[in-house]
Structure 1
């Protein structure tokens, strides 16, 4: 009974993954899901119609092997064809319009058959035997066939039907991973403790994870861990092919991966293809095909709470995991303990300082208007944010006083950025969104003012918009969900830069907050 229940749960999950509106990254992924769907449910597929445009596959239809009209023999004997007009079919399409990510979409799915999905001679007892022989004894089809025909001599167990039943239990590891991850995400989604769906999920490069994430969180941005991208099983073969060129390849790859403009990324990628011909297939099929998941030029605008998966993080994680395993301490208990300690520490530091001491210690300025503005901001964020986030936001306000802010017209600020970007070098976790990228996403007629904010080491640019919104090239507002130091500096120079608590991501608000942030007045610097 337990196996039947698990089987039914698996079938329900598979049906949830493949349905009208489901999307896939490429044709291989779509085909894998369709074939695994058939394998688990116990029927065979055939490829039917397809449509190509310019040598690229645009549409594909899969049908049940029992689809179509049966063919009669010439002598009007009983037809021996398997075709019985089964209606099951699925249409896949790669639309040219409104499909920037070039996703494969399920446009039509007729999910019912006019026949049983396993022959009637496969009784519950026979199927249970097949499950035991397949999953636990690891016995192949030939031995199973001999065993079952000897045990059930009165049953007609055809080779193909037996293979279909075996296929239901001999599910690929990837499909099992999809089901496991899918069920886990569904459980998390239904957890009443989640206030809203995640904006970004960073995982390894398993295709199963990608399918599961897209099935549960359709609006979520899915990113790949660079560590897992380069140290997957397929990468070991690349390492051998490159030999002594491996270190140089990593250097060139990271220059390309960390390019913040798509044009520069594409130029760098062409150089990789030219300089490392021995791994062109890997570069094209494994990396470039999934560039939207790992290249900064394509993922730089996503919320990550400023988290990223880089090499030293994974090394530290490995050391911690090994140590905890030896001490038999669950890692979740350690994380909870650390979080509680940090909360208590920040709260103790914050509570022992009153407002006057905070102003003297943090806001070292002789301008009383700046002190008043920052004091009002501090009072407002206290009502909504936790102690940890309050201190993070106060730190940004403190750092803002180390910068110089100058207003420029839009034409001049473009030229200033060109000079600055040309001298900019890559630093781990250093994000910068080029103005050209921002201009491509907004209506430049809605820009109120443009500002350059800089110190002796760094320079960023602020665009103030008509609707009160702003853009900063540092991307802290997107990655952290907090207001950045550059914007706070501009606030002390113009009343057109206003602080509103709604600028801060709701993820950082206190639980059960009684105040409504939408009714908080905007705070400005009074000249």
Structure 2
């Protein structure tokens, strides 16, 4: 180790050489150019250039600072000079590392913005200044906090005047009022800075892999074994890369991006609304050409749900999903809305009609009253269903506290009522339920009785997949990119699945091909691989059934939903709307060694019905019919018994019927029939009725023309650059916690002031 004299200072250059500068020969000035004759250079022979290239990234970064600890760094003094501010930072870093404390920059004066030259800086110990506590009036609300600020006087003032050519120390105080801890170099935040290579890995794992801190810590420890990564530092960096930059024109960029896609490919459907007062984006709905085709093909069952906290503006993301012929959930439409009111849902449903001109047959939602009202007004003739999961959650939220200890008994009776297979039996059980639990009458009659309760929602899984893709809350354009990636992944899976099964090698013929070879050949020709597998399974299962007798006396299976192969509807309910002349024969089918029975009805038109309801609910021919098909010539099979939605893409295109012209002709016929009926009634009533009819038609025609002109002018004069970002609606305080109060909790809690402790007001409104 080299010990310098009092008038000498050690300068470490970048080429691992130690330079001794003699201050006495330079009249108090230090030459840092490396060309002065008074400099003495001592090369470090322990490190060769070839060895330096072999040093690992982690070792080179970790040991850079430690390499200076073996040399003594001179104490700063007044008049000490430096060439650049980087030299100042480097020197102070090495000196503070030696002395075991941390220095921070407390002053940084620069020239005007045109020059931005730094003129004055003050460096101080991180224990400088004193802590100012924030005391509260109520003692129990105060918390003991700790601070490392002790008013340490250590500081160095450095100046770079306009007339000077070097940077010099003008004043300093090198005394501390606290002990110097040797562990500071290890655990201080400033010394825990991770290398750039490690930060790149963390950014990649966070932004692209969505990995949690535990998994990232394991991967980083394996890749950088010589670098210590503390959990707090890792989590801070993860949060840094999760938060996306807020874009000032995010909404206008979103609309411009969607309109560009619509211009390049006319099949795109984009609808939006702008708030006329704030000029901000209110709602936007879009569908790609592939999504429009999927909706038109699989619109018989559509599922809808909203996701929250998916973007920076907290706009709910509304998703519409369907089930394709591979039994996969497909995203068929999406929208960003500003609220969840009836008017917004009506706008969404109207947008789907304008884009596809097809209404679903069954529409499954999450029991939102606004959506229910919108379905009644926009989707006439659609059968709405509520998700069972959301129904149970609403029961728990609304009825658990009023019922208290009797809630569990109520749930059992509620499910017993829900699972009743007869409408008459359901009404009896429902009235009995309200009589036994009168506290639930208002909620059950107003929320549940008018809706169908029979299905769960597959859209929840789609919500989870989409919500797990982004990190934090992305921008609106980033969210559209995420949805495009999801659509691409769905289409890629379908294409791969079709290619895989089309090029699959020959396989052994199963029991279905042995029993019904011609049927199996037709099924293989028309159905997708997934549906073919499910239909073959039903055929194989039919071998385990037997026919008990031809029905003479009707008797239903009373043990519903308590075992395998139970009925889904009573036979009496199935026969209510069937004339006796349309029934050829009814069979009672039972699985061997099973107590449950099902009934198969063969009709005169060669169709059939079964109490398992598989053909109605799922669209596949059940095992009970296949058993009858094997023993009775009256049982008839045709591929059209299976819905077209389960056919492969080739057969769907061959059999595809353009329903849009038919729908237009039907609407035209219905409207013209109403108009003709109105004209006849008006002529029959007299001239006054004719006058009122003409007046109504003229007013309606003028209003429609006015709306068309407004819409056309808005589209022609629309400029996406004028659209402002949506207004972010952020709730006050801490986010709500999902918590269901028990019967023993106090529901009538009152506001309590945090300052004076008085009940009835909050701290911001406190007058004390």
TM-score using structure 2 length: 0.37
Residue of structure 2 equivalent to 1:33:
none
Q: Residues 331 and 250 (structure 1 numbering): CA distance in 2 closer, same or farther, change over 3 Å?
A: farther
Matched, 1:362 2:498: no
Matched, 1:433 2:569: yes
Residue of structure 2 equivalent to 1:449:
585
C-alpha displacement at 1:470, in angstroms? 0.6
Matched, 1:480 2:618: yes
Q: Residues 332 and 286 (structure 1 numbering): CA distance in 2 closer, same or farther, change over 3 Å?
A: farther
C-alpha displacement at 1:438, in angstroms? 1.0
Q: Residues 186 and 248 (structure 1 numbering): CA distance in 2 closer, same or farther, change over 3 Å?
A: same
Of the candidates 288, 293, 300, which is equivalent to residue 452 of structure 2?
Answer: 293
**Superposed CA offset, 1:301-360 (max 9, x none):** xxxxxxx317xx7986776565445598947755763675477457646754547x22xx
Residue of structure 2 equivalent to 1:167:
none
Alignment of 1:246-395 (within 5 A): 246-288=407-449, 290=450, 292-294=451-453, 308-309=455-456, 320=465, 323-326=468-471, 330=482, 333-334=485-486, 337=489, 340-341=492-493, 344-345=496-497, 348=500, 352=504, 354=506, 357-358=508-509, 361-363=510-512, 371=515, 374-395=516-537
Residue of structure 1 equivalent to 2:361:
199
Residue of structure 1 equivalent to 2:627:
489
State the alpha-carbon separation in 2 of the partners of residues 339 and 405 from structure 1.
44
Matched, 1:236 2:397: yes
Secondary structure, counterpart of 1:454 in structure 2 = strand
Q: Residues 517 and 381 (structure 1 numbering): CA distance in 2 closer, same or farther, change over 3 Å?
A: farther
TM-score using structure 1 length: 0.52
In 2, are the aligned partners of 1:450 and 1:463 still within 8 Å (CA)? Answer: yes
Alignment of 1:113-192 (within 5 A): 174-190=341-357
State the alpha-carbon separation in 1 of the partners of residues 561 and 452 from structure 2.
23
Alignment of 1:209-220 (within 5 A): 209-220=371-382
State the alpha-carbon separation in 2 of the partners of residues 181 and 429 from structure 1.
40
In 2, are the aligned partners of 1:346 and 1:388 still within 8 Å (CA)? Answer: no
Q: Please, which runs of 5 or more residues in structure 2 have no aligned partner?
A: 1-272, 283-337, 658-768
Residue of structure 2 equivalent to 1:39:
none
Q: Please, which runs of 5 or more residues in structure 1 have no aligned partner?
A: 11-170, 191-195, 297-307, 366-370, 519-527
Single out whichever of 174-183 and 328-337 deviates more from structure 2: 328-337
State the alpha-carbon separation in 1 of the partners of residues 567 and 491 from structure 2.
26
Residue of structure 2 equivalent to 1:524:
none
C-alpha displacement at 1:440, in angstroms? 0.3
In 2, are the aligned partners of 1:185 and 1:213 still within 8 Å (CA)? Answer: no
In 1, are the aligned partners of 2:546 and 2:590 still within 8 Å (CA)? Answer: yes
Alignment of 1:40-79 (within 5 A): none
Q: Residues 430 and 178 (structure 1 numbering): CA distance in 2 closer, same or farther, change over 3 Å?
A: farther
State the alpha-carbon separation in 2 of the partners of residues 205 and 6 from structure 1.
32
C-alpha displacement at 1:494, in angstroms? 0.8
Count matched residues: 319
In 1, are the aligned partners of 2:349 and 2:379 still within 8 Å (CA)? Answer: no
In 2, are the aligned partners of 1:204 and 1:224 still within 8 Å (CA)? Answer: yes
Residue of structure 1 equivalent to 2:3:
none
Secondary structure, counterpart of 1:451 in structure 2 = strand
**Superposed CA offset, 1:93-123 (max 9, x none):** xxxxxxxxxxxxxxxxxxxxxxxxxxxxxxx
State the alpha-carbon separation in 2 of the partners of residues 185 and 251 from structure 1.
39
State the alpha-carbon separation in 2 of the partners of residues 427 and 222 from structure 1.
29
C-alpha displacement at 1:515, in angstroms? 5.7
Residue of structure 1 equivalent to 2:248:
none
C-alpha displacement at 1:468, in angstroms? 0.7
Q: Residues 274 and 423 (structure 1 numbering): CA distance in 2 closer, same or farther, change over 3 Å?
A: same
State the alpha-carbon separation in 1 of the partners of residues 417 and 377 from structure 2.
31
Q: Residues 493 and 203 (structure 1 numbering): CA distance in 2 closer, same or farther, change over 3 Å?
A: same
C-alpha displacement at 1:443, in angstroms? 0.7
**Superposed CA offset, 1:145-167 (max 9, x none):** xxxxxxxxxxxxxxxxxxxxxxx
Q: Residues 175 and 465 (structure 1 numbering): CA distance in 2 closer, same or farther, change over 3 Å?
A: closer
The structure with the greater share of residues assigned to helix is: 1
Q: Residues 509 and 277 (structure 1 numbering): CA distance in 2 closer, same or farther, change over 3 Å?
A: same
State the alpha-carbon separation in 2 of the partners of residues 428 and 461 from structure 1.
15
State the alpha-carbon separation in 2 of the partners of residues 364 and 443 from structure 1.
36
In 2, are the aligned partners of 1:502 and 1:517 still within 8 Å (CA)? Answer: no
